[in-house]
Copies of this chain bind each other. A is one copy, B any other.
Amino acid sequence: MGKSLCLSLCFLVLFHGCICIAQQQQERQQNKCRISRLSAQEPSNRIQSEAGVTEIYDHNNQQLQCAGVAVVRYIIKPRGLLLPSYLNAPQLMYFIQGRGLQGIMISGCPETFQSFQESQQGVQQVGEQEEQQGGHQFSGDQHQKIREVQEGDVFVVSTGVGHFIYNNGNNRLILVSVIDISNDANQLDFQPRRFYLAGSPQNEFQQQRSEDAQQQEQGQEQEQEGSQGGPQESSGSNVFIGFNAERLAEAFNVDAQLIRKLQGQNDSRGNIVRVEGGLQAVFPQRGQEEQGSEQQEDRLHAHGNGFEEIICSLRLKQNIGEPRRADVYTPLGGRIGGITSFDLPILKGIVKLSARRAFLYKGAMLLPHYDMNAHSIIYAIRGSAKFQIVQNQGRTVFNDVVTAGRVIVVPQNFALMMKAGDSGFEFVAIKTDENGMINTLAGDLSLIRAMPVKAIASAYQISEEQAKELKFNRMEASIAPGRFRSESA
């Protein structure tokens, strides 16, 4: 429009010069969701560390940008420690395999875990009371609560909260993390930014910037004044490296030698490091307290003001893989469970994500449906399924098989249908709303069922008898069994 105007304008004044203002006012990028084709992504980058691997799905990909998220998968070897860090956005982790320990660090939350409680506490009370008052030194240890996590757990970490993960099992610990960079809680730009607190790891998201952006940033970098000790050559490091070492020594009240270690200088282990001897002794055994009184544990009151209490005592974990937690179950089809802000209050207003976990048996079909209020980031866990995804004008934007390990985004309101392959299909879907809701287009709870038969007949130009077939022939709610046709058909 602007152009044609501009063109004619130019022709008019052709022999006398031309003023052409081509205002091109681009697309609106609330989120970039002009999607005409989706794809099931594999990780685009892989970072090998001492005790594990970090696999990154390209967050500059159109569909992840549409959803406003970044996706990372961590594979942590036994006794591997994902170094402590914090992020500029909330994340929802799903633990695919193994078991581990998740440490959460928030200033002012109470140090309720006191190690060697029985053997050492006595010593403390008797022999070290003075020391404790003088310098908080005692031969035991105390720290903030550490949570056990295992396969099937959803774990949520909010913006700016320090956290680390340790594999205390005997097998690899595998988790996928969805980082909601378009969340209100992220007030920085639209990039995932991880602030490491230890080591000197390569930044997993840096790789992914467009070349332009990197050039631009490097350009600005050259103008930079007063940067001291910053790693111009290497792309990664922890935040302490940016501070003056002497100042840090004063701040921590330790000698400069130790600060060099704090700053992670000459550390080439990457972001997942091996813990010699293991950390297991420090933590409570699952059987003892984690299982029986989990809820109660989580509500332990902190000292400090009311707000710290709220933050410190929020529950962060929920298992959504167990069969007994299924919300939908079709005997020959499969089951679906999930988690919303009603289950895990931290999702409400703070993290604003929810998740569903589905198990489809061989040949079972997830009936056509759409997400009413959220994008759905689907991570394929096991097996495979044929997906069909349709946009508002009826165009098929995806029509392919999705296999284990792939990530695909189903944009809000786009219609999705899938049919599990011969080995079934399992996936977890993270929704970009604290209460992801689904409308189904076929089956017992579908929109078709909600309409009067006469309206259906008129809308589709069919007889009322046919309208009733559309409305009532599929009895199941979300999953249609694969092998047996419904008896009423």
Contact = CB atoms under 8 A, between A and B. Distances in A.
13 contacts: A4-B211, A10-B13, A17-B19, A36-B220, A104-B450, A143-B451, A159-B413, A199-B459, A230-B396, A241-B390, A250-B365, A253-B489, A277-B454
Contacts of A438: 107
A210 interface: yes
A447 B13 contact: no
Nearest to A416: B243
A235 B24 CA distance: 24
B455 A166 contact: yes
Contacts of A88: 392, 412-413
A375 interface: yes
A29 B31 contact: no
Contact of A228 (B66, B210, B252, B399): B399
A144 B298 CA distance: 41
Among A258, A370, A394, A395, chain B packs the most CB atoms within 10 A around the CB of A394
A473 B37 contact: no
B248 A368 contact: yes
A28 B345 CA distance: 30
Nearest to A30: B190
A141 B189 CA distance: 51
Interface residues of A, number: 206
Interface in A350-374: 365, 367-374
Contact of A16 (B15, B262, B371): B15
A412 B160 contact: yes
A242 B413 contact: no
B107 A189 contact: no
Given A247-B417, A248-B368, 18 more contacts: A6-B9, A7-B9, A10-B18, A20-B20, A26-B216, A27-B190, A83-B459, A84-B447, A105-B451, A137-B488, A160-B413, A162-B439, A197-B448, A224-B395, A251-B442, A254-B489, A306-B342, A307-B437
B141 A399 contact: no
A394 B230 contact: yes
Contacts of A108: 445
